[in-house]
Amino acid sequence: MRRHNAAFCGEHFVDHIRRQVQRTIDDFDMFDHDDSLLLGVSGGKDSLALWDVLTDLGYEVDGVNLELGIGPYSEDSTGYSRRFAHERGLRLLEVDLGRDYGFTIPVAAASTSRTACSACGLSKRYVLNHVARTHGYNVLVMGHNLDDEAATLFSNVTNWNIDYLARQHPVLQESDRGLARKVKPLIRVAERETAAYAVIRGIDYEIDECPMAAGNTLNQIKEHLNAMEHTSPGMKQRFLFGFLERGTPVFRGEPRPVLDACDVCGSPTTGDVCAFCKLRAATQRTESGEDDDG
Ligand code: Q46
Ligand code: ZN
């Protein structure tokens, strides 16, 4: 691991990853053993590695898998989540976007001006929050890694998305807004490291890339950041953690928008109808042959 100027055998690498996760949980005061934890599980390496680490650290964590309806890719991903949970006796809740909400991500992308990844991100945020709230979990755990967060930060800085910069933090205390606290304990671990961890621990995960990822700008940013990391080891970590230490206090001073209940579903939103209900309505109009208003 060039950024730590260190090399590990398999056993000590696993210990190292566990320590990095525990340190992140402690440093950011994310949760303790009394909290009721729900992890968003995708069948990919990050969420399954995190489930493994948290379980080994003694936390009781249930998972929730969202079936996105992206053909065989989604079916395979759900299969990996199910097998992981089954083999370890863990509880996995399942939501199927098509069955439970009447649309899939390909239909959502075709029905609106949103990209597939935008519709997907919105749906994941909404559904996972909804499941956490309705099943009484007070903490929603997400498997975003160092590469994900550094790329998101880079995108938010290049576009000067002040609102997003104010909210870019590994802990979002949202209980006053009717939402579970959202935490990201994997942000000290790079993507390559979660892959190595999964291999060492014998975790089977979805390796194929999502067929709708083409044009995903975060993936393009990740490639650029990796090129910089190659010549300047530790750059991604310095960029992200430097921001969390020195940038967050500046942007957090921005006032937060007032939230109201969505007229359709009752979820907290800044408008009359939340973005997810608008997306869902657009897919229904498409299915019934009416025009999309975007
Ligand atoms: S699943 Fe969804 Fe990703 Fe596929 S459509 Fe984009 S966001 S690429 S993590
Ligand atoms: Zn709504």
- With contact defined as beta carbons under 8 Å apart, do 24 and 170 qualify? yes
d(CA 223, CA 241): 19
Size (the chain), residues: 294
Please work out whether the CB of residue 97 comes within 6 Å of at least one atom of ligand 1.
no
Return the DSSP state at 252: T
| 219 Cα nearest atom in ligand 1 | 8
CA of 209 to the centre of ligand 1 (A): 9
Residue 73: CB partners within 8 Å, gap ≥ 6?
A: 206, 208, 210, 211
Give first-to-last CA distance, the chain, whole Å. Answer: 46
> How deeply is 104 buried, as exposed, middle or buried, from its count of CB atoms within 10 A (0-12, 13-18, 19+)?
buried
Please work out whether the CB of residue 37 comes within 6 Å of at least one atom of ligand 1.
no
- The single residue listed with the structure tokens 């903490």 is 139
pLDDT in tens, 45-65: 999 999 999 999 999 999 999
CA of 121, nearest ligand number: 1
pLDDT at 254: 65
CA of 19 to the centre of ligand 2 (A): 39
Please work out whether the CB of residue 105 comes within 6 Å of at least one atom of ligand 1.
yes
Whose Cα sits closest to atom 6 in ligand 1? Answer: 117
Whose Cα sits closest to atom 5 in ligand 1? Answer: 117
Question: Global pTM?
Answer: 0.94
pLDDT in tens, 33-47: 999 999 999 999 999
- The secondary structure element, H or E, covering residue 157 is helix 146-158
pLDDT at 150: 98
Average pLDDT over residues 138-150: 97
CA of 214 to the centre of ligand 1 (A): 9
| 105 Cα nearest atom in ligand 1 | 5
What type of residue sits at position 165?
Answer: L
Between residues 79 and 6, the one the model is more confident about = 79
- With contact defined as beta carbons under 8 Å apart, do 30 and 59 qualify? no
